[in-house]
Amino acid sequence: MSRRCLAHALAKASAPLILDGAMATELEGLGVDTSTPLWSATALAQHPDAVRAVHEAYFRAGAQVATTNTYQANIPAFTAAGWSASEADALLQRAVTLAREARDGGGPDGWVAGSVGPYGRIWRTAPSTRGATT
């Protein structure tokens, strides 16, 4: 499949497109702490090689699409955690770069899709709306 023709490939596909799986679970397996309000997105700053490694593992396992490590990440969430807006922007760009690097290391096939979580949650204060789980 050519990355340039995703819509065409999907229209002609005789089988489902295979996406990657959970990022946080795999990062935790590598010893990365994901218990912050940013969840696995903190790893973009602290453990970028681990994020790339997870993407690479999913491509090796047969994933055709890597979703960026940005589900809980956005500029207001990063700034609330202490990063500047420009640092937050750079971390969001890094998420895309890491997924692309993993994709490109595995050959010509594959895509990168942005993962967008529930953006409105950053404006609420209850633990269940800040990414905290029990």
Phi, psi of 20 (to 5 degrees): -70, -175
- HSE at residue 40, side-chain half, CA atoms within 13 A, is 23
pLDDT at 120: 64
Condensed to tens digits (0 to 9), the pLDDT of residues 106-117 reads 766 789 999 988
Tell me the whole-structure pTM to 2 decimals. Answer: 0.83
The fold of the 18-128 domain, in CATH, is: TIM Barrel (3.20.20)
Condensed to tens digits (0 to 9), the pLDDT of residues 80-114 reads 999 999 999 999 999 999 999 999 987 667 899 99
C-alpha span between 128 and 134 (Å, rounded)? 9
